[in-house]
Amino acid sequence: MSDVILLIVDIRHPVLQFPPDLYRYITADLHKQVILVLNKADLCPPPLVIAWKHYMTSQFPHLEIVCFTSHPGQSYNTVLQKKRMRKKADWSQAGGLIDIFKACQEITAGKVDLSSWEQKIHRDAVAERLELHDEGAESVLVEHQSDSALEMSNQELYKDGVLTLGCIGFPNVGKSSVINSLVGRKVVSVSRTPGHTKYFQTYYLTPTVKLCDCPGLVFPSRVNKQLQILAGIYPVAQLQEPYTSVGYLCERTPFLSVLKLKHPSLQEKEPHQGQQGTAEPSWTAWDVCEAWAERRGYKTAKAARNDVYRAANSLLRLAIDGRLCLCLRPPGYSCLKEHWENHLDLPDIMALQGRAAEEEGSAEREDEEDGESSSEPEEERDRDADDDEDGDDEDEGFGHQGQNDDKSSGFTVNMYNVLRENDCE
């Protein structure tokens, strides 16, 4: 049904969400083109974004690759903040729209008139600068497809002079956010919960460009469950034992500096007694959850003890949202890190991310975090992992606080085992 496939992945772990067999099936069997959209580019350091783009190009030379972000320059004010600091969801401000247009223009090679699409992109950009969000908004034609319409057939490319873009990808990679950004306003509800999109729908972007949105695809994977959870593929609400995943996360992120936790053993001592011991206490996954529950004020209903289960789910959702960011590295990144940090494309990636204005106040924002109350109303709903409200944008993120895992580890972490400090940088 689609002429060009937009395969959307999360830039934090693209190889986990890019199935090579699906790519070969689309290109070799269906004879259609694929555009790889590295979404949520604002969650990774610019050198890492460039490194991933070059790595995917080296593995798949004929693959069109585009970096994308729905909310450039709109990071979280603190790690505890649920919403980004923005006046409203300005979908037309997304970075990477013109790159997707140019990729489609190169693929179609003049077979489809895309001038109306280019005019729409420039028109939306002008309206954004003039803050004309609702005035004169164009209507969007929406079609709900039946199962019979989805049957595979030898459909001709660009039928009736219309380019059909199909958006596919794993759950929680930002497919709906990409569609909203392409349309220029919200037409699809988004959520951080995997499986939020349940129907196949098409949207006419212009008279000659049509978008298709479908539910997330999940393929059988041999990747360990902890990484699937942190990638947002597995719903946090269905976890019965989240502590292993918390240990996996904390071994690979500087959680102490980001979360500013105090070890539970030190909380029970008097202030003058804590100064006597020189040895730094070791952390376990259970200790991290207990310290986070103490910091946030998560208590059980009856006994008023620290609710470690709720704290564990809260930490996992921080990682999925990007506020406690875990990014994977391509092979050989550490050896060529200096090369990527001085790459010629670095200014373009930073401009796409909108990082220029946000860097200066990062230190002040971290200081403000210490003064936040543990009884904030918006965090009280952390118990409900299946929060499907439209305001929970699945493309939100914290910025570049994350560390990267450059090795594949198949071990499991017991919640009482000591976390290995050598895994953190």
DSSP E strands in 322-366: the ranges are: 326-328
| pLDDT higher than 70, residue 278 | no
Q: Rounded CA gap, 252 and 425, in Å?
A: 8
378 neighbors 70 (Cβ within 8 angstroms):
no
Give phi and psi for 405, each to the nearest 5: -100, 110
Tell me the pLDDT band of 219, cut-offs 50, 70 and 90.
confident
Q: Rounded CA gap, 397 and 84, in Å?
A: 8
Q: To which CATH superfamily is domain 4-213 assigned?
A: P-loop containing nucleotide triphosphate hydrolases (3.40.50.300)
pLDDT for res 72: 78
Tell me the pLDDT band of 187, cut-offs 50, 70 and 90.
confident
User: Hey, is 362 helix, strand or coil?
Assistant: helix
Question: What does R_g of the chain's alpha carbons equal in angstroms?
Answer: 23
Q: Which of residues 14 and 216 earns the better pLDDT score? A: 14
User: Hey, is 371 helix, strand or coil?
Assistant: coil
Mean pLDDT of 29-40: 93
**Residues of CATH 3.40.50.300 domain(s) within the chain?**
4-213
Strand 4-10's sheet: what is its strand order? 64-67, 33-39, 4-10, 163-169, 209-213, 201-206, 142-144
**Percentage of the chain lying above the pLDDT 70 cut:** 66
User: CA nearest 322: which of 232, 254, 223?
Assistant: 232
pLDDT for res 33: 93
User: Hey, is 150 helix, strand or coil?
Assistant: helix
| pLDDT higher than 50, residue 423 | no
- Tokens 């969650």 label which residue? 43
pLDDT for res 313: 95
Q: Which of residues 331 and 423 earns the better pLDDT score? A: 331
Q: Which of residues 248 and 394 earns the better pLDDT score? A: 248
Half-sphere exposure of 104 (CA within 13 A, CB side): 29
Q: Rounded CA gap, 266 and 260, in Å?
A: 14
